[in-house]
Amino acid sequence: MRTSGSKYLTVRALLLARVRVLPAGARLPAEPALCTEYGVSRITLRHAVDGLIDEGFLVREQGRGTFVTEPQHRMRYRERFAGAVTGFHAQQTAQGFTVSSRVVDLADRAVREPAAGRLDLVPGDRVARLTRLRSVDGSVHHLAITELPLDRFPGILDGDLTDASLFATLRDRHGVDLARNDLLVSIRGAEAEIAEHLLVEPGERLLTVESTVFDVDDRPVASGVSWLTPRNSEVAFSLRP
């Protein structure tokens, strides 16, 4: 049986809000009571609870119930890549978190490799290079640099991308529907400037995610790289045939 995505997101958000105001060690009501309260099936409820257990908000003890964990175990924010190109902002917001960004730089730049090849450009073509420091619930999460072809998005430099979803901006203002995201995940040492932004020591090993997104016509739209802080970041993949 396939869980309804909208019901799952709704009950997850309700559970998360509930957990956040409960003290560590508090026990959740039994599953039948929660199913009745939220008007969902046991499968949907169990899916939402399991997700919060995976992310450290809850712990299940056999024969005793499900309990709220200590606050220090609630600081890992997972970016998921599964089935649809949604973007970090949309994912975290749907899970009940508050995403904020600081635009470090937004400027007309000459594209360099490897971004040029990924965007079907030649070195020296003009791109909008957007650098943002992104936080979740007030905690620094990652630094992202994204490049977009200026000839396709000439007004992108004039927009306010401080707290907006870039993917939503491309869809709503430029009519671009994203259909594919090619990813390369690796571990790299933090360069001095990146380390300063992420409040880590230079050379500290960071999880990096290089991304190139494509529209429904398989044209490259944007290329970027994100450096994720090790203390509160995870990346999850779900592969389906």
The predicted model gives 156-175 an average pLDDT of 88
pLDDT tens-place string over residues 80-108: 777 778 888 888 888 888 888 999 999 99
- Tell me the whole-structure pTM to 2 decimals: 0.69
170/152 Cα distance (integer angstroms): 11
pLDDT tens-place string over residues 8-29: 778 888 898 898 888 889 999 9
For the chain, which residues make up each domain, given as ranges?
Answer: 5-73, 77-237
Three-state SS string over 67-135 comes to EECCHHHCCCEEEEEECECCCHHHHHHHCCCCEEEEEEEEEEEECCCCHHHHCCCCCCCEEEEEEEEEE
The predicted model gives 26-48 an average pLDDT of 93
Topology of the domain covering 5-73: Arc Repressor Mutant, subunit A (1.10.10)
How many percent of the chain have pLDDT more than 70?
93
Specify the CATH number of the domain 77-237.
3.40.1410.10
102/200 Cα distance (integer angstroms): 18
pLDDT attached to residue 6? 66
- The tokens describing 200, both together, are 């880590």
